[in-house]
Chain A
């Protein structure tokens, strides 16, 4: 035990309140400091641990910053080609209907190159969970404009700000898939404050539990930051996100299934 300013009698196993789940692998995360991916990964793995479904879970990682998600999440996983994660998840679930299957995708992956796969997996009502991390930018390739980039927002391919007249409008994929009968639960969350993390985790739990009801896709968007791409400190990026992203991408449930008694 390293030296501590706290009473060492408190730091005992029986007093443990919170520690990183061992459903996360030991490897240090490759994400930038303050990036929401790490938090999203961890609460996802906490849900899998708390549900006791590690052996029954297959994940699909995307292309983008979270391309190496399988290095961090301690479940069987497949790495998809850019945008194709929902097609992979479809096949996995069809072949192993008793498994819990999720995709973890960014906005470039899900809302640009993978739009067709996303819409059609949702429209077929596959019994999978799609986790959509929206930070309004292509992070890994160096901060280019994404379909979700806000009007006027600067990126390396919209250096003077996104001009809606020539570059189109930010795409609200979550509202779009909510209109499809194949989705059963559609929600938008965030993970930058303790309260938001707790809510997002509850949403993920609901999304996974719904897979057993076999009533369609559960879709969880997490609006997140990209402090490197946005060129801000992590704390400033979180404030900017609240002030600019949330008005365009409001948090909350968009579609919830009927309760069963």
Chain B
């Protein structure tokens, strides 16, 4: 049974997924894609969106077939030993992605605001709001994520400024990219959409189950809109080559904006962005809390504290910024495997194990 404090409706789920998906990617993606694909990088983003869309379809069908979350039914679908192995693997994946996002978050904050600050201090400090949010339950996380609409509306002014002040013709030539490069770019873009795979962990909590696919697809569409906007803005303002040499192109765009009363608007945008990343980390953390609750039947402050400590330790192990970025590429591929391939493989298994699922529901 789902806890009443954790139940969320379709609108809240849409917000939750969108807030989890959009985070570091909006800063990093333009550079990665311009390096990998060139000016046609925006096509890779759209391909990636369709790819994760397939994942959303698979997870929706899987959850519907099972009548519970795919994660909860793993021991039934794969047998106890294998089910536990995959459960632990998925939990480790969530620890890994939370810690990598935290690590990249800390690095951006260091570059943007505090170059001399200690990583550990910043990690602990920046993790506090996410942990506090998670301690209040899924519904509070999803409700808080509503701030993302306001934050993204304000942050959207940055790429908009880039597009207006820049030259959109830098995007030419369009479609002169090889399929190989586009595919590679799409795989690299996949990491920016991670968050949709959390649907694999939540199902009883979702009130509008019939609109699950539309909700997941809606969150991907919104994220795609922002990523494509950020990419086009970077090319339009800095040209087709320079963004590849800028660590965070969007950050550089924000530095070009000044208002009569605020000289450095980017610092104010930075403050908003910090809140946006908090929602991303809290999304993965609550997924992890849910996974631990499902598998170990524990949900208390101790389990949340342990999860937080493990995340911080994993973030410290991740190493330097360069190592974290390399790991982010790797975890992006793993994330796509978790969100697209894994549910696609589980679908026929679930169909074959219909009887076992029925018995499992009866025994609950």
Tell whether A pairs with B.
Answer: no
Using a CB–CB cutoff of 8 Å, the interface residues on chain A facing chain B are none
